[in-house]
Amino acid sequence: MENIILIGHGSPKKDANNIELTGRLLHSAIHPNCNNNCVKVAYLQFAEPGIADAIKECVLSGAKRIIIHPYFLSSGMHVTKDIPEIIKEAKDMYPDREFIYTEPLGIHEKLVHVVMERIHTANGLKPHDIEKRSFEIISEEADLSDMPPEQLPIIKRVIHATADFEFKNTLMFHPDAIRTGIDAIKAGKNILTDVEMVKTGIIKRWLEPYGGKVICNINDEDVVRLSKDTGKTRSEIAIKKALQANNNIGIIAIGNAPTALLKVIEMLNSPIHPFTHSPILVVGVPVGFVKALESKALLAAQKFPFITNLSRKGGTPVAVAIINALLKVSKEGL
């Protein structure tokens, strides 16, 4: 069992001690199906819990590995001396536990984008203007001239969502993918997602005029029960349930669970699946080290319409960006 501790400096001003939200967002991003408190926050000073108390809580909860991240911008004395000394004391106290201490936030290109957004906001730019300028920057920094025009809105939105230009080279499109997705949206078909985070990120107001809905069954009581009884992931069970029960699905968006994507491929290749009357677009971009790349490689070999990326990268932001790009194109055209 692994726990993560996110460490903030702490402030005498109580309102400034607010990294709990960051901790929850981190937990949702890396453990989307987890209900345990495996991402904790702590403060170096002025606020509770302290680092030693957070480590003790991890130990008492059964964590064998404790990853500690200093939520600091630079490697000052707190990061290089104060926090390591507390960790050393914890290692002596809990010798049977593994401690991993990460680098601070430091210098990262994604932080530059955050600063740019703050500057634009301070200058009075509206969110739409910020997004417009972001897309202009993408066009300036990446040569997309060799990309098929119908793919550009999707590629740009994925890069915008991830600040990762690598997706220009790793995204793959079935020849019928974009047309199938747009046709499904305009026909009022539903969008099935593997996790709630993907469902939440999809812009519903762009879908609703066509009559479609976004479906996710991962938290249904029977899905949770079956997962405990069978040992299968909730995402896999939820996808199977939805495909068996709902004949109005036009797009399936998998952003996190390779097992869910493998189940989709299995069911769509079955001669008895209930969707032979109309094609379904499968957006499969799970992230991770176990089965993620393998499941996407298998998807890339399918005859039915798909959008995927051949790398370990992916996740909720990528799946959401692809779907929202399709919705925007459906609404506004290329």
Q: Which of 304, 259, 258 is nearest to 281 (CA)?
A: 304
Burial (CB count within 10 angstroms: exposed 0-12, middle 13-18, buried 19+), residue 314: buried
Q: Are 241 and 192 in contact (CB under 8 A)?
A: no
Q: Are 101 and 91 in contact (CB under 8 A)?
A: no
Secondary structure (3-state) at 171: strand
Name the catalytic one among 108, 160, 273, 277. 160
Q: What are phi and psi of 273, to 5 degrees?
A: -70, 145
Sign of the Cα torsion 18, 19, 25, 28 reads negative
Rounded Cα–Cα distance for residues 224 and 207 (Å): 28
Q: List all residues 6 or more positions away from 289 whose beta carbon is below 8 Å from its beta carbon.
A: 312
- Residue ranges of E strands in 256-304: 281-284
> Edge-to-edge, what's the strand order for the sheet holding 281-284?
171-173, 306-309, 281-284, 249-254, 190-193, 214-215
Q: Which of 51, 37, 54 is nearest to 9 (CA)?
A: 51
For the question of residue 113 being annotated catalytic, the response is no
Work out the number of other CB atoms within 10 angstroms of the CB of residue 184.
Answer: 25
Q: Which residues are catalytic?
A: 160
